[in-house]
Amino acid sequence: MKLSLKRIAVLCSAVSLTAVAATAQAAGSCTPAHKFSTIKPGTLSVATWEFPPYSIPVSPSEVNGVDGDILRLIAAKECLTLSFANVDAAAVIQSVVSGKADIGMGDWYRTADRAKVLGLSAPMYLDQMGVISGQGNATIASMQGKRVGAVAGYLWTSDLQKVFGSSLTIYPNPVAMAQDLAAGRIDIGTDSYAVAVYDQKKGGYKAMKIDVVKPDQRVPASIQPGQTAFPFTKTNQALGDALSADIEALHQSGDISRILKAHGLDPNAANVGTPRLVQ
């Protein structure tokens, strides 16, 4: 059967209108799990930085990694569009404090100092201290007498400085430490276990062994790994309550364990225990 061009145009118009109506209906049918305000209504503004496997920026509307996957599930629950600003690590917290972003992402610890200026969501996963070396060194005692590297700002760095003194070199970032480790300028490096394992899978730390550090009273982070969270603007407690409730639901459903496993991490890191702050 042949149709006239006019008839075809009318049919196409009808189909288009139907599609638009269906899309509008679908958008309108989304009911947020919680009520709270954001800087831009309907959009969650997120400050992020490049820190695989937790935060892997792709575009202003997409960030992959563990935190990115968790955040997408939360956004779906709350009927929100995600908008990302990729900045330096130090600028993530400042963006949230200054109100330029609703939340920050990228493996941020729940610490007492941060809680003074930020809201902190319920914990998502634990971040264990990893030890990177040629021979394998899983204890603090086995690291004595060796040249050790650590990264500024990590939970264990100040304690390692007390233990190792001048034998410890503190680096501004993991890349600089990895370069010195590869060049033999240090014997051992310390980093997030998950980050080190991820880097090795991507070709870094060749011929190196990566261990989770054994508990040692001198380094509290080796006994009680840091809990991570989404920092949010301190005055927006309704947003924080929603984030925490959604994170708890994702724990209950097993989604956070699944996401960790999908990124090659230990799913047991989702067993965060009671919320606490690192002092």
Domain ranges of the chain: 43-126+227-270, 129-223
Instruction: Dig out the tokens for 18 from the structure.
Output: 């139907």
Q: What is the CA radius of gyration of the chain?
A: 23
5, pLDDT greater than 70: no
Query: Between these two residues, 159 and 29, which has the higher pLDDT value?
Result: 159
- The per-residue pLDDT for 235 is 95
Tokens 């890349």 sit on residue:
175
pLDDT band at 28, cuts 50/70/90? Answer: low
Distance from C-alpha of 109 to C-alpha of 212, rounded to nearest angstrom:
18
The pLDDT of 81-85, averaged and rounded, is: 97
Give domain 129-223's CATH number out of 1.10.630.10, 3.40.50.1240, 3.40.190.10, 3.50.50.60. 3.40.190.10
Give CATH superfamily name and number for 43-126+227-270: Periplasmic binding protein-like II (3.40.190.10)
Distance CA 110, CA 247 (A): 14
- pLDDT for residue 3: 38
Query: How does residue 95 score in pLDDT terms, banded at 50, 70 and 90?
Result: very high
Q: Are strands 129-133 and 209-212 parallel, antiparallel or unpaired?
A: antiparallel
Q: What is the pLDDT of residues 128-168, one digit of tens each?
A: 899 999 988 889 999 999 999 999 888 899 999 999 999 99
With a CB cutoff of 8 Å and minimum separation 6, the contacts of 68 are 55, 56, 62, 105
In angstroms, the CA 90 to CA 258 distance is 29
* pLDDT at residue 19, as a whole number: 40
Average pLDDT over residues 206-219: 93
Residue 138's SS3 state is coil
The continuous run of DSSP H or E covering 25 comes out as helix 5-28
What would the two tokens of residue 34 be? 């919680």
State what percent of residues in the chain have pLDDT above 90.
73
pLDDT for res 94: 95
The residue that leads in pLDDT, 175 or 250, is: 250
Contact residues for 72 (Cβ-Cβ < 8 A; gap 6+): 82
Report the pLDDT averaged over residues 94-117: 95
Average pLDDT in the chain: 89
pLDDT band at 255 (very low <50, low <70, confident <90, very high): very high
Q: pLDDT tens digits for 42-72?
A: 999 999 999 889 999 999 999 999 999 999 9
How many other C-beta atoms are found inside a 10 Å radius of the C-beta of residue 259? 23
pTM surpassing 0.85? Answer: no
Q: Are strands 231-233 and 118-120 parallel, antiparallel or unpaired?
A: antiparallel
Q: 43-126+227-270 and 129-223: same fold?
A: yes
